[in-house]
């Protein structure tokens, strides 16, 4: 299930999209966003996509 709020946060304010992750991830995305906005967006989207893939692998196939 796609959480639309996280995807919007990833584009508008990337560190807000990964607030439920560990501190290192938040700091990495924040640092990339501070250097320039686009790398922060790419990193946030990468973490969101990675989490979705992990969740889809954990769900049993019916």
Name every residue whose Cβ is closer than 8 Å to that of residue 1 and which is 6 or more positions away in sequence. none
What is the mean pLDDT, run by run of 10 residues, along the chain of 62 residues? Answer: 82 90 91 92 93 84 64
State the first-to-last Cα distance of the chain, in angstroms, to the nearest integer: 17
Q: What is the pLDDT of residue 62?
A: 63
Nearest-5° Cα angle at 41, 37 to 45: 175
Q: What is the pLDDT of residue 3?
A: 81
Q: What is the pLDDT of residue 32?
A: 92
The answer to whether the predicted template modeling score (pTM) of the entire model surpasses 0.85 is: no
Domain ranges within the chain, ordered by starting residue: 4-58
Q: What is the pLDDT of residue 12?
A: 93
Sign of CA dihedral 28, 34, 39, 43: positive
Q: What is the pLDDT of residue 43?
A: 94
């Amino acid at each position: 299930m796609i959480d639309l709020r996280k995807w919007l946060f990833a584009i508008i304010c990337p560190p807000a999209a990964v607030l439920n992750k560990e501190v290192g991830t938040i700091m990495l995305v924040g640092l990339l966003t501070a250097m320039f906005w686009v790398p922060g967006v790419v990193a946030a989207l990468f973490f969101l996509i990675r989490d979705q893939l992990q969740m889809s692998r954990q769900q049993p196939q019916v």
